[in-house]
Structure 1
Amino acid sequence: MGIVPSSCCHSSASVGPDDAFAGKRVVITGATSGVGLLLAKRLAASGATVVGWGRNEAAMAEAEREALERGWSLRMMRCDVSSKREINERAEEVLDRFEGVVDLLVNNAGVTSGGKWITDLTDEEITKCVDVNLLAHFWTVRAFLPSMIKRDAGHVVTISSVAGIMGVAGLSDYCASKFGAFGLTESLRFELAKIGSKVGTTIVCPSYIDNGMGKDADVKCRSVFPLMTEDYVVRRILAAVARNQGLVVLPGTIKAAYAARLYPTSVYDRVVRAWANV
């Protein structure tokens, strides 16, 4: 890679308190690693009561051990979000535990097939990607949204991706699922507005993060697509929720490429190929 990411995407700050979330009841999917885990810790450190869903039992045990040491209210539940049945069962447990009140739902869980061309993807890989990255959002929202609407309070966060607003060669299943999650949440925002609900929504579209696939991504223009830290992304997510911001594209430089959609496809394609090597 050889290029130092933009300083705006770095932070030496450790996980710390965010007063706006004290006392809130939170559910986070994909909470055993990466942004999901850091988000769970930061919210718990702020005084929120957090339930994290995941499948890595060792990571869940370690998170709960740290929470106990630090006096955080953080509980982990095993949940495979590719299973509608498991989602509904865990959601029922959470609603019982929280006496029917969930203030913040963060749909963060995601998978990728690892950059295969559409003709090389197996049926199982396509199905898994759509189940986790898109259909799971339907099931969690349908489980937790009714109580939010009834109380006229709450917030739904959707972790989509820059791949949810810009297609990428070799990621057809991932892009399709993330585009879908984007569309689902945008539609939800308009549905809530139709009924005058105060329930908020935030779509987050991050670019490359310094973990997993992001570290190895072949990107031509790092000034437009800098490598972001997990801490930076988490801080931006929480700031967006606190402000009830509907859409967050990270980093902001991505908007220049996205704005090229206003021009003919041939122009848009040249811009994206030049900057992102897609």
Structure 2
Amino acid sequence: MGATIKSRIFLVGCPRSGTTLLQSLLAAHSDIQSFPETHFFSHLYPATQSKRRKLGLAAPAVKEHLKKTLQTMGKSDLIQLVSPASFFCFQYINAYIKILDQITLQSKKSFWLEKTPKHLHYVNQIESAVPNCKFLHIVRDGVDVIKSLYAVTRQFPQSWDGPWTLEKCTDRWINDYRLTMRCATSDRHLIVHYQNLVEDTVLALEKIFEFIEVPFEVGVLEDYRKVCSSLILTEEVWKNQVQSNIENIPKRKAYTLSKEEEDYVVRRLKSLTLDN
């Protein structure tokens, strides 16, 4: 184990779709290294700097963001892998890959799993720049996700750039679902349905491990609760429920909307055909 990196896996999807649960299950595997969310690509390619993006220039603040991310991981020394002469996106991406590779190899593991839901919006850039990469997309019922987004952004507005409107929550799920569906026929992408994951976890995981070409380990079903604490930042308190037993997840109290609000969401989603 651990001599070379065999695969680099990106776990993506709409927020509140079960990405942290799936990440924890996979990170409990003896040959998979994972990390807190890096948000690297959204800082490398900020939407407000389209001119720089067209020229292939990295956002000026990306090095500082990467430095803070490494501090959170306790790996501040690895910022030295970013050359002081780095100006272009490809230079930062190469450094980012080296950093995650080195953390993984130091742990004597061969696969790494990076989970930042919004990296779904940068799939094309990641595919073209990251060797040996695969993608796991997790999809959850739209109404459930929208309700959860609506609630969590109100409860923790400081972590979500303020409370989201119901329209914004709905737009985000629809857009992310469409982005995932565009990848559905690619052999580098696997779509995981959240309901399948919580109702028949072993079967779902067997399919995922087969896709990423890692032997299934039954121990992940017990160890994921220990692992998830290292993947959740202190301020991400809304993720703590992942440490509960999987069998209790479907029984949790659902977030509620008024009838008028729920009717609005259902109307917006009616035009989409879900691939169940």
TM-score in terms of structure 1 length:
0.35
TM-score in terms of structure 2 length:
0.35
